[in-house]
Amino acid sequence: MTRIILFTLTNLSVVFLLSIIFKITGINIAKHYELIILSSVFGFGGSLLSLLLSKWIALRAINGKIIIKPNNEIENWLIKTIKNQSIKAGIKTPDTVIYKNSEINAFATGPNKNNALIAVSTELLNKMKLEEIEAVLAHEISHIANGDMVTMTLLQGVVNTFVIFFSKFIAEIISNVFEFNKEESTTSKKPTIIYFILSTMLELTLGILASILTMWFSRRREFYADAGAAKIAGTEKMISALIRLKMSNEPIDNSSISSLCIHGKSKYLSNLFLSHPPLDVRISALNNKTYIKIL
């Protein structure tokens, strides 16, 4: 119910904000009302669908299987640890998945905090100490308890809506200027070649700029999750886990789940487009407790 309320309020907020922009600029809202609705539907539709299918998508991306019955000691320990941490965080115990991968990593996903999964790589289990694994699990539990998946979905929906709307709106204005017969261009409902080209270019450009905002928020949620892990498992364990990650190789996980992982991609990317803060910054924040100011 909470997700439905948030989704509805966010949609209404987007429409309301666009209405204010139209009011200030003197643009006829009735003429572009259909575009506003379509932008909202497509903007939120894709994000919402991804959220609802997030567990299914993740399982297929990593070719993983949910542990129904523990087959060995480590699987039994994982399930017990996640269950105990879930009780502390006040959420339903997420499904547990182990997936084969040659890097140290883990991630959490799911449509809501009571229907989620936590996946850990085989390399993480092989290279990390139990207390470090405990901290990583606590980090993912914090992501779930904080509702990061839903929040990121709503944010992405808002961003998508604005990108779709303004790319088409600006393209329409510019293409009309370039039309030889202005009277025909303002009454015709058929899009022109210029419109399609401009719309595509603007959507790509605005999409890149908008990703700076979403990545900024994504980086902040990592500080929240680190702080939550420090509270659940202990600060020293979380720092030790991050140091272990720092010593590992660059992430090579499937791009469809890389932003979910505890160790996000950083190579060749500007800091503005990082989904995770640099590990040194996260370690420093925990050491100096500066994450309290960030939060």
Task: Measure the CA–CA gap between 245 and 226, rounded to whole angstroms.
Answer: 13
Q: Under 8 Å CB-to-CB from 221, ≥6 apart: which residues?
A: 143, 146, 148, 151, 152
Are the beta carbons of 180 and 211 closer than 8 angstroms?
A: no
Are the beta carbons of 254 and 197 closer than 8 angstroms?
A: no
Length of the chain measured in residues: 295
Task: Measure the CA–CA gap between 231 and 187, rounded to whole angstroms.
Answer: 62
Q: What is the DSSP letter of 267?
A: T
- Tell me how far apart the terminal alpha carbons of the chain are, to the nearest angstrom: 27
Q: Annotated catalytic residue: which of 132, 140, 172, 222?
A: 140
Task: Measure the CA–CA gap between 53 and 58, rounded to whole angstroms.
Answer: 9
Are the beta carbons of 234 and 135 closer than 8 angstroms?
A: yes
Question: Is 140 considered catalytic here?
Answer: yes
Cite the active site residues: 140
